[in-house]
Amino acid sequence: MAYSQVTVTEHLLYHQQQSPQATGRFTNLFNDLILAAKIISREVNKAGLVDVLGFTGDVNVQGERVKKLDEYANDIIIHRMERAGVLCAMASEENAEMIVVPDKFKRGEYILIFDPLDGSSNIDVNVNIGTIFSILRRKSPAMQDVTLGDMLQAGVEQVGAGYFLYGTSTMLVYTTGQGVYGFTLDPSVGEFLLSHPDIRIPEQGKIYSVNESYWNYWDEPTREVVSWFKGVDNPRGKPHSLRYIGSLVADFHRTLLYGGIFMYPMDYRDPKRPRGKLRLLCEASPMAMLAEQAGGLATDGTKRIMEIEPHELHQRVPLFVGSEYDVRKVSEIYRKHAQKDGADDLRSI
């Protein structure tokens, strides 16, 4: 069968058959999520036509102004997924607390963590936005109430991760730990068709992606990292090109296909509380799983993102993700500074 005729459902069923323990519940979860994303995609595509653009005036848990489409996407996903019969709980970037599937619906063992509409500051200018998701299996016994502890799992525990990209075409890119696959929505038949089988991220890239306006908020090691990508001390002997859309899904998607690195480092906007912006559970962890499954890497500068143990639902983390060579370079520079700082500390004793 030609790639373009394989639907995402066929692809999921094929992988389900490869796994003797598979029950089909995971495939059901995915199918419901896909339906929610198709509805969001339809609304995103006509965003300029109807009264869904603009701010609602509310502020979400991250302190950002919420846009109508964010709310819409959030509501659609929660509505569909609590009825899917396979989830026990969800967490959304838009909700402060975890969302337990109500008693009136059948519950299952899976947990869905998602960012309903990432890159929302780009909605009004028709730039790519997306839905990011991470799927976990609950740790506590099914007879007990699901707890926050069930949500706070390191990236290595994810059983699936991916994103929907609402752009020139709508795409689904996902992994269940057996490689990364990309599907493009054919609007004429309403199906996601396999368009990018077994995506491999190039070992070394030519592009770096970072919001460089934060230069004055960065520490010395971070400035050295970014300077390295602008320099010529690399196997190509040329600077990396800069591309920054400001929508994680879009910047990550380009990085996955073309290679290079996406960075959102820790900064010192508040000198007392240095921090990254991106959320570990609904942004960094799923992107890290996709990157690793495609042969790339993801780090916070010192630790592998996939191994970071979360301690709160909306925890933020610095993120460096992309081609293996480029991400290793970042870790190398941070390590060099940590060793130097360690030596300086020793000298000062």
Residue type, 265: P
* Minimum separation from the CB atom of position 120 to ligand FDP (A): 4
118 is in an annotated binding site: yes
Count interface residues toward ligand FDP (CB under 6 A). Answer: 12
* Minimum separation from the CB atom of position 339 to ligand FDP (A): 30
Alpha-helical runs (H) found in the chain: 8-18, 25-45, 68-82, 148-151, 220-230, 248-258, 285-293, 324-348
115 is in an annotated binding site: yes
Handedness of CA 9, 12, 17, 21 (dihedral sign): negative
Contact predicate 91/78, CB 8 Å? no
140 is in an annotated binding site: no
Which residues between 197 and 236 bind ligand FDP (CB under 6 A)?
211
Distance (Å, rounded) from C-alpha 252 to C-alpha 280? 15
Q: Does 278 bind ligand FDP (CB under 6 A)?
A: yes
Draw the binding track, 283-312, toward ligand FDP (x: CB under 6 A; -: no contact).
Answer: x-----------------------------
Which residues between 83 and 142 bind ligand FDP (CB under 6 A)?
118-121
Report the residue number, 109 or 251, with the smaller CB distance to ligand FDP: 251
Q: Which of 67, 253, 277, 329 binds ligand FDP (CB under 6 A)?
A: 277
Residues 157-168, buried b or exposed e (16+ Cβ, 10 A)?
ebbbbbbbbbbe
* Minimum separation from the CB atom of position 248 to ligand FDP (A): 3
With a CB cutoff of 8 Å and minimum separation 6, the contacts of 90 are 77, 78, 81, 82, 98, 99, 101, 111, 112, 113, 114
Q: Which helix (H) or strand (E) holds 174?
A: strand 170-175
* Minimum separation from the CB atom of position 14 to ligand FDP (A): 32
Interface with ligand FDP (CB under 6 A): 118-121, 211, 246-248, 251, 277-278, 283
Can you say which residues are annotated as belonging to the binding site for Mg(2+)? 93, 115, 117-118, 283
